Amino acid sequence: MLLLKPEDFEAWVGKQVRVATIPHAVEVTLVEVKRANYVHDLRDPFSLFFESPLGVSLIDGNYEFDCGKGGPHVIAITQLKPQGDRRVYQAVFN
C-alpha cells in the first residue's frame, strides 16, 4: 500500500480533480495542502482542502479521487461549513 505524502498532491493545488460518484463523476478543486505542525514517525501529517460549487454536494465518506501520483486514490472526506457560494471538504492524513 502506498503511503501518501503532501508532495503527492502539491502539484494539483488549484486544479480540478475528478471524483468517482454515482450516477456520474463530479469535479472539485484542490485548494490547499496544509501540513500539520507536528511530526509523526511514518509521515508528516497533512490535510487536503477541496472546494466545489454549491450544486455539488458530497456526503462524508470515501471516494476515489483522480489526483496525485499513482492515482486514483480512495480518500475519506468530511464536508465543512460552506463558504459563500462554495462547499468545502477536508481529508486528513495522520
* pLDDT tens per residue across span 6-22: 988 999 999 999 999 99
Amino acid code (one letter) for 75: I
Q: What is the pLDDT of residues 36-93, one digit of tens each?
A: 887 766 778 999 999 999 999 999 999 999 975 667 899 999 999 999 999 999 999 9
Sign of the CA dihedral 9, 26, 61, 89?
positive
Number of Cα atoms under 13 Å in the Cβ half of residue 26: 16
- pLDDT band at 3, cuts 50/70/90? confident
| pLDDT for res 69 | 62
Average pLDDT over residues 21-41: 90
pLDDT at 43: 76
Q: For residues 85 and 28, give the distance between their C-alpha atoms in angstroms, rounded to a whole number.
A: 13
